Structure 1
Amino acid sequence: MSETNRRYDVVVIGGGAAGLSGALALARARRSVLVIDAGSPRNAPASHAHNYLGREGIPPLELLAIGRAEAADYGAETVRGEVVSAEKLAGGFRVVQADGGVVEARRLLVTTGIVDELPPVDGIAERWGNEVLHCPYCHGYEVRDRPVGVLALSPMAVHQALLWRQWTDDVVLFRHEQADFTDEEYEQLAARGISVVEGAVAALEVAGDRLTGVRLAGGTVVPREAVVVQPRFTARSAVLESLGLAPTEMLMGDHVVGSYIAADPSGATEVPGVWVAGNVANLMEQVVGAAAAGLKAASMINMDLVTEDTRRAVDARRTPFSAEAERLVTERVLGDRRHGLQEIR
């Protein structure tokens, strides 16, 4: 972006569902809005987005294109770019982009999302978003009744296997390098017909651009058509860290599942004037929830701006009647005559 020091009511950093939903609401509130989008949405590898009422099964990039067009209809601007830092100013914020572009904003809405850090198993990254899955509510129906493998990567592995059993009765849990399960967990798995495979997983087997199985370190291949993993969810927090907002670790027991930026229920952070929404603030949020969070944050941002605008209007209204203002008016109107009038009195 070549423009420098343009000033907006709100700059939205991140053009996913949360950011565009917030931008739409703010533009409809007649705020000047700029969305700066790096163009790397988390769900880009997925062919379809699910559980978004009215848009069920829509390709993720198509959903975002529709969102950008809708926000633009109300005057919101969207540009492609990467924000590298932001700093607090007396009246707002200065936002710096990788290409050197600089804009200013009265408020910031940060919706930069998270990065899925995948396990170092050959084939996982290449098939991510296709047959390598995480969320059953997002993709469980698409692999219903098919052979599914769950790769144990955390103490939540048994819970994952039991959850995916809702969509198929052919679930295999690969213990991989995870600590042994408890007797109670083995009983639960057996009761649900979930078998456990011992040994480290070496790679995924692929044929004809389709997943066909899971290969163990010893060479055995277990036929599977989908594999479930639990990534580590890491907040894209560099911009927020430049403002002094450090990410918080999310724990399940003693296991770190990811990091996020702490905020109140509206998305307001500890830095006045900065809101967050979507996965950067809530690791478990799905697309429709991220959009709702963006809307909520936008409404609170607008209310915050209304409060500031009202305070400024009140100050301006009072100013003409202050003692200082009267002195200045007298000086301007009477000038030297003012002193003569004082002498006559």
Structure 2
Amino acid sequence: MSVLWRLCVAAAALLAAVWLIRGDGEPPVEFLTPEPKAPVPSAPAAAELTGPAASPIRYAYEPHCNDDSDGCTHYILVSATGERWWLPGARDGAPFVLSADGTVAVHPLEGRYVARDLTTGEVTKLPVKARDSAGEMFGAQQPLLSLDGRHLLVQHDRVDEDGELVLERPMIVDIRRGTVHRLPKDARIAGWTTEGLALVTEEPARDRPGHATSAAYVIHSPGGRAVRRFTLPGNLARGLPSPSARTLASLPREIAPHDVVSPGILLTDTRTGRTLRTVVPRLPAGLKADGLVRWESEDALLVRAEDRHRRSSYHVVDLETGAARDLRVDMTPVADYWLAPAEFSVRIGSAR
């Protein structure tokens, strides 16, 4: 290659470099900056609830904020119309429960449980402690209000000599009268019915071929008296009795090649033990039923659903048609903690 040719190539390279650096002419490549996404609207700021709530509470949750303001350290109440309040005394991380009509909240206050009438703002102190002798909050079993909101289930826990968590005898508290009745120990809480609280224990199956265990259900009146009993196969020990206790709902699991699936909501006649039918909830695409929260009536269940990202939503399922109504529990403005996702703190009130 001649010296002249080398000089020509070098001159061309130099001109090209100057062109790119100085920006003379149109650049050969244009780098585009993506348009910024529209900001996600935040939830309405929560105000202190100093008196009656304007409407029944749809749900409550822990805010999971990172500061010490009142709105970040108390449960947030959300009404059916979207209004948000923080409730004085209802600290996040503590037990909390709403009545099914969204008008009563129960939480610890100054070491004891209190019932707060959200329609009047009246606070009733209950004769039940919320902390043990070491000052630790009781919390293995969340409090549970009866269907009419008058009675409260409380079950304390303690750590035994071997370091094991032990549940104490369940207690039923009459909120109006302030009386307490204790129930038998070593039984699991199954849920409230119109007659009282249902407890269940698993026992060896004696007269049920094909089943290793049986589930013995006992319904106790608010006064502590056993008023009804029925026994079902052991695989129904995690069922949820209907308000009349004539039907038991369960969510069976089946192992599929790549997942654990549920065929639907299994309804069982508690008098005969026979399957009545299986209801497949008509949930939006991508959702599957993950848990039964409570009965709304003899013909409807409140169901928790999940998507593939483990995000929760709540739906009222019509047991006649399978139709599912979304309660629109919105947790998008709430930050998750790695070991405590915000959705775990949701408490459902009025589903109407």
- With normalisation by structure 2, the TM-score equals 0.22
Q: TM-score if structure 1 supplies the norm length?
A: 0.23
More helix by share: 1
Q: Which has the larger radius of gyration?
A: 2
Report which structure shows greater RCO (CA 8 Å, sep ≥6): 1
Give 1 or 2: higher strand fraction.
2
